[in-house]
Amino acid sequence: MLDLATLDVREACDKPYELELLHPATKKGIGSFVSILGCESTKIRQHERKIADEKLAELRAGKSKRTPEEGVQRIVDVALASCVSWRDMKFKGKKIEFNEANAKIIFEEPGLDWIAVQVYQEVQNLELFMKG
């Protein structure tokens, strides 16, 4: 009989997974790696709770506004919240060190939105964080 404690998604998602970024057209690894937390991690759950609380407060105040940009920004925000480090990242001819400001630059750079989308998609993939 399987011990359910071995299926603790929170614990698994709190451990970073190193994701190799894939070329947006060929889907081949580009040699740049991003370490991410999973969607059930403590940090991501807290981030999602904060966003939900803000939206609820807007609704209650009658100030709720929904725009298409919110969906795009949510992807970027989750990517930023999940990213804990990276390696071998180069931007405009220079190696770029990981920090929150640089991550924001990369994830919000026009034309590089595919990076935030890849990170967002993999954050949702529990298989990456759970051992089978």
pLDDT digits (tens, 9 = 90+) for 51-105: 888 878 877 887 766 676 777 788 999 999 999 999 999 999 999 999 999 999 9
pTM for this entry? 0.86
Distance, CA of 112 to CA of 43 (rounded, Å): 24
Residue burial 84-119, b: 16+ Cβ < 10 Å; e: rest:
bebeebeeeeeebebeeeebeebbbeeeebebbbbb
Asked whether residue 18 carries a pLDDT value surpassing 70, the answer given is: yes
Both structure tokens of 62:
């009658």
Query: Residue 52: enclosing H or E segment and its boundaries?
Result: helix 42-60
Both structure tokens of 91:
């931007």
Q: Which of 101, 128, 131 is nearest to 36 (CA)?
A: 128
**pLDDT, position 35:** 98
pLDDT above 70 as % of the chain: 95
* Residue carrying structure tokens 């403590």: 42
Contacts of 86 (CB under 8 A, 6+ apart): 32, 33, 34, 35, 98, 103
Q: Do 25 and 16 contact (CB within 8 A), yes or no? A: no
Asked whether residue 129 carries a pLDDT value surpassing 90, the answer given is: yes
Pairing relationship of beta strands 17-22 and 29-36 according to DSSP bridges: antiparallel
Average the pLDDT over 117-127 and give the result.
Answer: 96
Phi, psi (rounded to 5 degrees) for 26: -90, -20
